[in-house]
Amino acid sequence: MLTELQIRNLGVIEEATAEFAAGFTVVTGETGAGKTMVVTGLKLLSGARADAQRVRGGTDKASVDGIFRILGGDADSGPTDGDADKLAQMVEEIGGYLDDGEAVVSRSVNASGRSRAHLAGRTVAAGVLSDFTSRLLTIHGQSDQLQLTDPVKQLRSLDSFAGLDDDRREYRRLRRQWAGLARDLNDRTVKRRELALEAETLRHALAQIDELDPQPGEDEDLKVRISRLQDADDVRSAVATALTAVDGDPEDAGESAADALGMAASVLEAAAGGDPRIAGLGSRLAALVGELADISGELGTVLSAAPDPENLEDLLQRQQDLRELRTFAVDVDGALAWRDEARERLGAIDVSDDVLEELRARVSDAAEEMLAAARRLAAGRIAASARFAEAVTAEIRGLQMAAEFRVEVTTHGGDGKNLGKGAGKNATTADCGPDGITEVEFQLVQGGSAHPLGATASGGELSRVMLALEVILAGSGRTMVFDEVDSGVGGRAAVEIGRRLARLAVHNQVIVVTHLPQVAAFADAHVHVSKAATDATVRSSVRTLTEEERVEELSRMLAGLESDTGRAHAEELLETAQTAKAAM
């Protein structure tokens, strides 16, 4: 529910704030005061195209802020529980916030035409704003009358009345499924030779990869292991050289360092006699021989524990083998990703007889499902068309329109029109359009002749038909805005329009811009837009009228002058309308 609207520098409105409550609010004012700027502001909040010409002259930008109650409040005029939850979720997803269950929606447009949108404290795209407000707000203007003649809009209205919206969505899902399968079958059949060659190339590449059987990250792991082994090989070579020098080469009869030192120690010990200096040198040499023995043992241990150089050769060969994968990607992980994509692609282009036969069966099954859904839709539309026509006829006659509303349903597939449950029994996939196998045309019967709705109906008649459809199709919990949809209407018809708008407001918030006092009298609240003109500028203000001011405004709307007669007439009109509302 819209609780407040703030407008700055939009059209003739310099700055204005209007508060709205549940129920029926009417917006009136003299010509040129800026009543339609209220609707223009709401359209901007709905994501409509920003127009720089709407920016008030002499200012940098125009801005509109709307406060919508999402959670809590009046159950009849607020969003339904499902919509409220979805709206709250949308706010959460963008990182916004609700203030006591209310969301602030803002839009600004500068003098160059660039606009910015904000939702619940976050900057968003205009499309996001549109998605959000579309669950809260519906705006009807005189231009919407043209949409009544759109066959698609007419069909959607019938579906809404018949409760077929979910059936239509399911049909469209099945149609997309069938179309995708049929397109796949056609591509595989037409391009069979080309796809077979591609499939063979993919199979060869996949076999090459599978033969190597690479593991994720294996190339990086090999680099680390090879580097470690190459360092170890240098160490092994040095240890082996040192051990040979100490112990000698087993395959060479030459003398080792240990042998030479041992011989020197023995000679000195034998020749020492009583010479302590010689004896000391011999002892020192003997100690060196023992130390060399220990060193030899440790060198042998180190050499035994050193990695086998043959492992390095194996790893280097594996590394070389994996380089073949560079045909597919720069590293092993990339090659594995390519393999997964290639397998998926191979499944999609398999043109073997078995696969094509299976795909034909799937296309056939999907077509049957789609056609069955289309027939159900056709039957439901035909069954509801008469009831829908009767309901609309009753409403437009209540709106003082001497005409009969008719719904013509045509079913494709050689079955003619309005065949009930058997509708579309001979339909084929070629008959299946985006919304089924049926077409709908709204007609008005006047003077005994039936004509398409847009062919003979006047603007006032289209306004009444549109209102009749809204009354019949309206749900609950929405904010519905009507911008002078009562144009071309007067007298008793105007009273009935006011009555029906009041009926809509029982379960919705209804805001109406009108010039008809008969409509304004039915409102729960009355917002007035006034203007003050100087030689240089025109400024408008917006405020909610008191009961006394409301009578004065109705008197002005009735007679154009504030007179005792006009005032009495206004009081009577207001009392009559409010009494009629109480009886609803």
Tell me the torsion sign for CA atoms 545, 550, 556, 562.
negative
Average pLDDT over residues 25-46: 86
What span, in angstroms and rounded, lies between the C-alpha atoms of 211 and 448? 82
**75 Cα distance to chain centroid:** 28
Amino acid letter, residue 149: T
Q: Which of 105-114, 167-176, 368-377 has the weakest average pLDDT?
A: 105-114
Question: Is residue 440 in some structural domain?
Answer: no
pLDDT: is 172 or 145 the higher one? 172
Report the chain's mean pLDDT, rounded to a whole number: 85
Average pLDDT over residues 382-389: 95
Question: Is residue 161 in some structural domain?
Answer: no
Q: Which residue has the tokens 């100690």?
A: 287
Q: Which of 107-111, 283-287, 458-462, 534-538 has the weakest average pLDDT?
A: 534-538
Q: Show Cβ contacts of residue 238 under 8 Å, excluding neighbours closer than 6 positions.
A: none
Average pLDDT over residues 439-447: 91
Residue 6 confidence (pLDDT) above 90: yes
3 state DSSP class of 450: strand
Highest mean pLDDT, choosing among 100-114, 160-174, 263-277, 412-426: 160-174
What span, in angstroms and rounded, lies between the C-alpha atoms of 484 and 481? 10
Average pLDDT over residues 328-353: 86
Provide long-range contacts, Cβ within 8 A and 24+ apart, for 455-461: 458/488, 459/142, 459/145, 459/487, 459/488, 460/487, 460/488, 460/489, 460/493, 461/396, 461/401, 461/403, 461/488
Average pLDDT over residues 57-75: 83
How many secondary structure helices (H) and strands (E) does the chain include? 19, 15
DSSP strand pairing (13-19 vs 102-110):
unpaired
Question: Is residue 225 in some structural domain?
Answer: yes
Residue 316 confidence (pLDDT) above 80: yes
| CB distance 554 to 26 below 8 Å | no
Where does residue 81 rank: exposed (0-12), middle (13-18), buried (19+ CB within 10 A)? exposed
What is the H or E stretch that residue 215 is in? none
Q: What is the pLDDT of residue 252?
A: 66
% of the chain beyond a pLDDT of 90: 34
Residue 422 confidence (pLDDT) above 70: no
Residues in the chain: 584
Q: Domain range for residue 274?
A: 218-330
What span, in angstroms and rounded, lies between the C-alpha atoms of 378 and 425? 10
Question: Is residue 3 in some structural domain?
Answer: no
**537 Cα distance to chain centroid:** 44
What span, in angstroms and rounded, lies between the C-alpha atoms of 20 and 205? 69
Q: Show Cβ contacts of residue 524 under 8 Å, excluding neighbours closer than 6 positions.
A: 21, 22, 23, 24, 25, 505
Question: Is residue 324 in some structural domain?
Answer: yes
**Residue (of 437, 402, 403, 356) closest to 172 by Cα position:** 437
Question: Is residue 311 in some structural domain?
Answer: yes
Average pLDDT over residues 105-123: 91
Beta partners for residue 6, in sequence order: 17, 65
Number of neighbours of residue 82 by Cβ within 10 angstroms: 10
pLDDT: is 235 or 480 the higher one? 480
Q: What is the pLDDT of residue 79?
A: 65
Q: Show Cβ contacts of residue 400 under 8 Å, excluding neighbours closer than 6 positions.
A: 491, 492, 493, 496
Residue-wise pLDDT for 77-93, tens only, equals 556 666 788 898 999 99
Residue-wise pLDDT for 544-562, tens only, equals 999 999 999 999 888 766 6
What span, in angstroms and rounded, lies between the C-alpha atoms of 369 and 437? 14
What domain count does the chain have?
1
Q: What is the pLDDT of residue 176?
A: 97
Average pLDDT over residues 137-143: 81
pLDDT: is 80 or 573 the higher one? 573
**pLDDT-based confidence at residue 15 (cuts at 50, 70, 90):** confident
What span, in angstroms and rounded, lies between the C-alpha atoms of 90 and 68? 14
Q: What is the pLDDT of residue 249?
A: 73
Residue 39 confidence (pLDDT) above 80: yes
Q: What is the pLDDT of residue 255?
A: 66
What span, in angstroms and rounded, lies between the C-alpha atoms of 108 and 6? 12
Residue 141 confidence (pLDDT) above 70: yes
Residue 414 confidence (pLDDT) above 80: no
Average pLDDT over residues 130-154: 84
Question: Is residue 8 in some structural domain?
Answer: no
3 state DSSP class of 501: helix
Number of neighbours of residue 270 by Cβ within 10 angstroms: 10
| CB distance 524 to 509 below 8 Å | no
Q: What is the pLDDT of residue 116?
A: 92
Q: What is the pLDDT of residue 73?
A: 58
What span, in angstroms and rounded, lies between the C-alpha atoms of 494 and 94? 44
Q: What is the pLDDT of residue 538?
A: 66
Question: Is residue 228 in some structural domain?
Answer: yes
Burial 45-73 (b: 16+ CB within 10 A, else e): bbbbebeeebbbeeeebbbbbbbbbbbeb
**pLDDT-based confidence at residue 313 (cuts at 50, 70, 90):** confident
Q: What is the pLDDT of residue 80?
A: 63
% of the chain beyond a pLDDT of 70: 92
**pLDDT-based confidence at residue 120 (cuts at 50, 70, 90):** very high
**pLDDT-based confidence at residue 118 (cuts at 50, 70, 90):** very high
What span, in angstroms and rounded, lies between the C-alpha atoms of 541 and 534? 14
What span, in angstroms and rounded, lies between the C-alpha atoms of 552 and 517? 11
Average pLDDT over residues 153-157: 93
Average pLDDT over residues 400-405: 89
Residue-wise pLDDT for 188-207, tens only, equals 877 777 877 888 888 888 99
Average pLDDT over residues 157-179: 96
3 state DSSP class of 534: coil
pLDDT: is 313 or 378 the higher one? 378
| CB distance 80 to 87 below 8 Å | no
414 in the Ramachandran plot: left (φ > 0), alpha (ψ -120 to 50) or beta? left
Q: What is the pLDDT of residue 308?
A: 66
Residue-wise pLDDT for 466-525, tens only, equals 888 988 988 778 899 988 777 777 788 889 889 999 998 988 999 999 989 999 999 999
Residue-wise pLDDT for 272-302, tens only, equals 777 888 888 888 888 888 888 888 888 888 7
Q: Show Cβ contacts of residue 547 under 8 Å, excluding neighbours closer than 6 positions.
A: none
**178 Cα distance to chain centroid:** 24
Measured CA distances, 295 to 234, 236, 288, 301, 327 (Å):
19, 15, 10, 10, 52
Beta partners for residue 538, in sequence order: 533
Q: What is the pLDDT of residue 156?
A: 93
